[in-house]
Amino acid sequence: MGPPIIGISENIRRIKELVEHVAHTGFNTVIFGESGVGKEVVAQNLYQRSPRVGKPFIKINCAALPEGLLESELFGYERGAFTGAEQKRRGKFQLAHGGVLLLDEIGDMSLVLQAKLLHVLQSGEFAPLGSEKDIKTDTWVIAATNHDLKQDISEGKFREDLYYRLNIIKIYINPLRERPEDIEPLIEYYLAEYATQLGAANIVRPTPAVIAKLTTYHWPGNVRELQNVLKRMLVLGECEKIVDELFDTSAKQPAENTVSKSDGSGDTLHSLLDLGGKDLVDNNSFSLKAAKKKAVDKVEKEIISYVLKKTDWNRSKASRILKVSYKTLLNKITELNISPPAGSSDFQ
């Protein structure tokens, strides 16, 4: 399973202590933090230290699925419960029985499902779709989110009663930039880990100077971004160049100090304009007009994808929000090559 929780900062030290205390209780827990800070690692460590170890550890990402699919994934369904339900299927609550269910990105769950989840947490029972019989479930629910749920409550997006049900234990993981003393231990841990994977002979170790520089970077994508940088260094061997690029790229972007979903995959001017690594001045195929179209396309794609995700790919609703015609939206979806999340190709 996952790695141990690496880090020496006060924040991580307290989390490790908390994990030791909470693991045997099975109290519902919410883990807060930006993307890539290690929420899943903490959940895995809770499970591994709990009496439930050996039973299933099931994870579901509540942001990745539209409401209907998420509901059937969570609670399962009977044969014939809806068109296409040819086989009875067990839900995650059933699969996780006796073990742990990690509800990732709980802040993105719809209000309707929040109500159903609250019911399960209160009664310890649920009924699969199309079934009249309640099934008992003994599941330790751990939730994770990069949202400020208190804020979501004040905006009417998250149920307060569910918040208090879920949130017996709160664990806050700080962004990596607020605990720079963890960066070096993480680098050492993952270098050793990747050395084993790649065969130690092929490893180019970053110099102490490179490591020192990495500890001063602001890591918008947190530990996940750090892992990606290390892998790139090990494979390409150009450690200095990779660190310099990291700082160059971030200098062109606004500082990131709010809770964000960034995965650290920022564009440089070069990648945005697709200059093939050449300077703009030396690039014959460059034109301001083409660059403008590219930039506009990129922004349009992001906005449309966002609205589609928020509306569960309800395209007529999305077109109303975006104030374009339904037909224009369909054209944009094709033109900009926007695709629905995996596993949801069959809803309209």
Ligand X SMILES: Nc1ncnc2c1ncn2[C@@H]1O[C@H](COP(=O)(O)OP(=O)(O)O)[C@@H](O)[C@H]1O
**Residue 100 near residue 50 (C-beta atoms within 8 A):** yes
Residue closer to Mg ion, measured from CB, 103 or 230: 103
What letter would DSSP give residue 84?
A: T
- Please select the residue that binds Mg ion; options are 40, 67, 148, 300, rule is CB under 5 A: 40
Distances (CA, A) of 52 to 49, 58, 100, 135, 321: 8, 12, 7, 20, 45
CB of 50 to ligand X, least distance (A): 17
Residue closer to Mg ion, measured from CB, 40 or 263: 40
Residue closer to ligand X, measured from CB, 40 or 297: 40
Q: Which two tokens stand for residue 114?
A: 């929040």
Q: Which residues contact ligand X (rule: CB under 6 A)? A: 2-3, 5-7, 33, 35-41, 144, 223-224, 227
**Residue 68 near residue 21 (C-beta atoms within 8 A):** no
Residue closer to Mg ion, measured from CB, 40 or 78: 40
Rounded Cα–Cα distance for residues 86 and 80 (Å): 6
Q: Which two tokens stand for residue 23?
A: 């693991």
Helices (H), the chain: 10-22, 39-48, 67-75, 92-95, 111-123, 149-154, 160-166, 183-198, 208-214, 222-236, 239-251, 269-273, 288-310, 315-322, 326-335
Residue 33 binds which of ligand X, Mg ion, none (CB < 5-8 A, kind-dependent)? ligand X
Nearest to 227 by CA among 19, 52, 6, 1: 6
CB of 262 to ligand X, least distance (A): 11
Residue 220 binds which of ligand X, Mg ion, none (CB < 5-8 A, kind-dependent)? none
Residue closer to ligand X, measured from CB, 40 or 245: 40
CB of 42 to ligand X, least distance (A): 7
Residue closer to Mg ion, measured from CB, 89 or 224: 224
CB of 103 to ligand X, least distance (A): 12
CB of 104 to Mg ion, least distance (A): 5
245 binds Mg ion (CB under 5 A): no
Residue 301 binds which of Mg ion, ligand X, none (CB < 5-8 A, kind-dependent)? none
Residue 37 binds which of ligand X, Mg ion, none (CB < 5-8 A, kind-dependent)? ligand X
In this structure, what are the phi and psi dihedrals at residue 126, rounded to the nearest 5 degrees?
Answer: -155, 160
Q: Considering CB under 5 A, how many residues would be counted as binding Mg ion?
A: 1
Q: Which residue is nearest to Mg ion (CB)?
A: 40
CB of 144 to ligand X, least distance (A): 6
Rounded Cα–Cα distance for residues 115 and 161 (Å): 9
Nearest to 171 by CA among 3, 2, 6, 21: 21
Residue closer to ligand X, measured from CB, 29 or 35: 35
Rounded Cα–Cα distance for residues 66 and 77 (Å): 16
CB of 261 to Mg ion, least distance (A): 11
Residue 80 binds which of Mg ion, ligand X, none (CB < 5-8 A, kind-dependent)? none
Residue closer to ligand X, measured from CB, 258 or 334: 258
Segment lying near Mg ion (by CB under 5 A), choices 36-44, 191-199, 229-237, 240-248: 36-44
In order, the DSSP letters of 166-182 are: H-SEEEEPPPGGG-GGG
Q: Residue numbers of the site for Mg ion (CB under 5 A)?
A: 40
